[in-house]
Amino acid sequence: MKVVIFMYPGVTMLDAIGPYEVLRNLQNSEICFVAEKKGLVKADSSFIEMNIQYDITEINHADILLIPGSLIEYLNIAKNKKILDWINKVSITSIKTVSVCTGSIILAAAGILQNKKATCHWSCIDLLSEFSAIPTRERIIQDGKIITAAGVSAGIDMAIHLVNQLEGRQSAEAIQLAIEYDPSPLFNSGNFSTAKPEVINLSKQKMELALAQSDLSD
């Protein structure tokens, strides 16, 4: 089971690492992190660099293709024809093509979500309609073989769904136990539809600040 995770400068790490930590436990799993250019790729916080071993010319097939999101860089990826063409090509033969957070904007820009329901981070989900996708505020949306997950941490839930579909309930339960995923969030503030207005405003401020502090230069 070849899981291909597309990384790019400015990626949000948990979008990628949450599903990775689940999917690495699939039977015979091989996880390939791939980027437009291999080598060091900096995350959106500037505090992390991952060493990516494959560039997109080296990966032509994925059983599972995963596109993580980012704070703002997704908009640049969504204009990068070379990357969008690669995503399209690999997605044609994938078993599942999945995204986390604003990764769905990238899938949509690649034309993969046309007239499909999709979710995204709550702060920019409406943007999906500009790429002919149907924004749907759910934690996980499946439309055919495409699964999109909401913001950042939703990738963990999505990946467990994916294991359940591919290997069945017992495997999914065992992996959920291996990562001790018995969440106990301190507050009930993780959902846009129930969060208080002042919490939504502060959350937006924190994301804007993170964006302002992000430095992707070498």
- Per DSSP, what are the bridge partners of residue 40? 51
Q: Which is nearer to a copy of itself, 30 or 85 (CB)?
A: 30
- Sites for a copy of itself among residues 180-199 (CB under 8 A): 180-187, 189-192, 195-196, 198-199
Q: Which residues pair with 33 in a beta bridge?
A: 5
Q: Which residue has the tokens 């992996």?
A: 175
Phi first, then psi, for residue 29 (nearest 5°) are -75, 140
Q: Rule CB under 8 A: is residue 14 a binding residue for a copy of itself?
A: yes
- The least CB distance from residue 132 to a copy of itself, in Å, is 24
Which residues touch 115 (CB under 8 Å, ≥6 apart)?
Answer: 132, 133, 134
Tell me which residue of 184, 162, 186 sits closest to 100, measured CA to CA.
162
Helix (H, G, I), strand (E, B) or coil at 38: coil
Closer of 85 and 168 to a copy of itself (Cβ): 168
Indicate whether 49 belongs to the interface with a copy of itself (CB under 8 A): yes
Pick between residue 14 and residue 110 the one whose CB is nearest to a copy of itself: 14
Contacting residues for 79 by C-beta, under 8 A, at least 6 apart: 109
Count of residues engaged in binding a copy of itself, rule: CB under 8 A: 70
Q: How far is the CB of 164 from a copy of itself (least distance, A)?
A: 6
Question: Minimum CB separation from a copy of itself for residue 218, in Å?
Answer: 12
Rg (CA), the chain: 16
Tokens 């995963």 belong to residue: 66
- Distance from CA of residue 114 to its chain's centroid? 18
Considering only residues 106 to 125 of the shown chain, the ones binding a copy of itself according to CB under 8 A are 121-122
- Pairing status of strand 134-135 against strand 140-143: unpaired
Instruction: Indicate which single residue of 35, 107, 147, 160 sits in contact with a copy of itself (rule: CB under 8 A).
Output: 160
Does residue 216 bind a copy of itself (CB under 8 A)?
A: no
Among 85, 126, 130, 173, binds a copy of itself (CB under 8 A): 173
DSSP 53: -
Contacts with a copy of itself by CB under 8 A lie at 12-14, 17-18, 20-21, 24-25, 30-33, 40, 45, 47-51, 53, 101, 121-122, 139-140, 150-154, 156-157, 160-161, 164, 169-187, 189-192, 195-196, 198-200, 202-203, 205-207, 210
